[in-house]
Amino acid sequence: MTTSSPAESLTNRQQFWRGVRGVLPILLGVFPFGMIYGALARQSGISVPAAQAMSSIVFAGSAQFITTQLVRLATPGIMIVLTIAVVNLRHALYSASIAGFVQNLPSHWKLILAYLLTDEAYAVAITNYNREGAQGNQHWFFLGAGLGLWSCWQLSTFMGIFLGTLIPPHWPLDFALPLTFIALVVPNLKDSAATTAALVGGIVAILTFSLPYRLGLIVAALAGILAGLWMEKTP
């Protein structure tokens, strides 16, 4: 994803751009996803300003997708809010996972980095933290990765809103999402405990798919984490 380099010798600006470069390959998968969101939002009758604003106010791909579907089905607002909250529950796990690396930062940094904590930015930032540690100015890397992704999401939303109808419907652009996650997960399956966590999480996700509000997502994630812990204890 990135080339490792001695952290202490890099300026804040260099760390920031290293973060941008770290997230760059992933943007290939994020861009088409953002365009599809923009197009779907317009098809669901969401106004241009609201469709664009959702990408910075909610700033969470899968929750925004589901919102467009629920708006199309004229779902009551409170149900949509509840669904967004449940679909994004997994971000609490990301927050817990990355908290130890940002605990000494001032509050305004914590607020900004929390806002930028999407699936993709998290994966890139945690990989860097695991390699470089939390010392020095690694938070500038996180900021670079997060803002790189944010900019791509706003731009691709904009393109989707205005050009989305030009995308031929048989183009499977939504497949970019699982491909991006495969590229993020598979190279990091370095031991049997991590692999077990991934397999159990995935299998339970299939078994619990029919649960309402995509609750299966969080149930399966917890099952995977517990399986990883158990595997680590019994080698």
Partner 1 sequence: MNLWMVMLAGGLLTFLTRLSFIWLFDRLTLPRLFRRALRFVPPAVLSVIIFQELLIRDGSLFLSISNARLLAGILAMGVAWRTRNTLLTIIVGMAALLFLQIFIS
Min separation Cβ 10 and partner 1, Å: 22
Cβ–Cβ contacts within 10 Å for residue 7, how many? 18
Is 213 an interacting residue with respect to partner 1 (CB under 8 A)?
Answer: no
Is 68 an interacting residue with respect to partner 1 (CB under 8 A)?
Answer: no
Contact 113, 124 (CB under 8 A): no
Cβ–Cβ contacts within 10 Å for residue 202, how many? 13
Span interacting with partner 1, options 11-19, 55-63, 136-144, 160-168, rule CB under 8 A: 55-63
21 to 50, contacts with partner 1 by CB under 8 A? 25-26, 28-29, 46, 50
Total site size for partner 1, rule CB under 8 A: 93
Give the Å distances, CA to CA, from 194 to 39, 119, 176: 37, 18, 24
Residue that has been written with the tokens 């589901």 in this structure: 66
DSSP state of 105: S
Is 195 an interacting residue with respect to partner 1 (CB under 8 A)?
Answer: yes
Among 48, 73, 182, 211, binds partner 1 (CB under 8 A): 182
Is 224 an interacting residue with respect to partner 1 (CB under 8 A)?
Answer: yes
Contact 228, 93 (CB under 8 A): no
For partner 1, the closer of residues 7 and 204 by Cβ is 204
d(CA 207, CA 203): 6
Contact string (CB under 8 A) for partner 1, positions 140-179, x = contact: ------------------------------x-x--xxxxx
Q: What are phi and psi of 210, to 5 degrees?
A: -80, -5
Min separation Cβ 14 and partner 1, Å: 21
